Structure 1
Amino acid sequence: MNLLIAYGLLAIAIITEVLGTAFLVKSNGFTKLVPTTITVICYVLSFYLLAQVTKTLPIGIAYAIWGGVGIALTALIGLIAFKQTLDIPAIIGILLIVSGVVVMNVFSNSVTH
């Protein structure tokens, strides 16, 4: 698998994970069938795609991108869709996570560009 396809699959894996997490909130602790089903499908698809990506990218790199971007997007969904708030330490923490992913991708020799 070439690098462009791997990053495309990683993007889809991130999107499905974030979508699954949004529906996790709507599942009301797995008591609502439709949101629960969507959550499970999204998580299974996300992990399947992440596993495919690890054929090309090192697991540490792929997981860091998946987790870091997923955290930032999930926090954004929480703000917009669920009217949740973040305090300054939470925002700083998320920015540090995203900064770490950027540093790793730009400067690390572990990522094959």
Structure 2
Amino acid sequence: MNYYFLLLLAIAFEVCGTTCMKLSDGFSKLAPSVLIFVFYAISFFFFTLALKGIDVSIAYAIWAGLGIALITSVGIFWFKEPATALKIISLVVVITGVIGLHLSNRAT
């Protein structure tokens, strides 16, 4: 089984859930409010399966880092949030940290 594919599915559903948080307008819109919980449940399902083959420290770092990068992109391109230099630099730092954690796991 490809555990990294399962992790990517978990990340995709987490990003969908987070996007629905914004779309729910503080739980005032029913469909996106319900979808938050559906997408997060699916995300945790796939994340749990991915943990069968990936160390939790690495899986969580990838999940969080890639999730941050993707939801930042959604914010910039879909919700028209500003793409400031500090935001982009910070995103690069997060991604660099995730890559460093992944490489450190291979070095042991």
Unaligned runs of 5+ in 2: none
For 1:102, which of 83, 99, 104 is the aligned residue? 99
- Corresponding residue for 2:6? 9
Root mean square deviation, CA, Å: 1.5
Q: CA deviation at 1:77?
A: 0.5
Q: Name the TM-score, length of structure 1 as normaliser.
A: 0.87
* Structure 1 residues 83-94: aligned runs within 5 Å: 83-94=80-91
For 2:60, which of 51, 58, 63 is the aligned residue? 63
Unaligned runs of 5+ in 1: none
CA contact (8 A) 1:57 1:111 kept: no
For 1:23, which of 13, 20, 23 is the aligned residue? 20
Name the aligned partner's letter for residue 95 of structure 1.
Answer: V
- Tell me the alpha carbon deviations over residues 17-56 of structure 1, each in whole angstroms, 9 at most, x when there is no partner: 1111111101011111100111110111111211111111
CA distance, structure 1, for counterparts of residue 106 and residue 54 of structure 2: 7
Query: How many percent identity over aligned positions?
Result: 36
- Corresponding residue for 1:50? 47
Q: Name the TM-score, length of structure 2 as normaliser.
A: 0.91
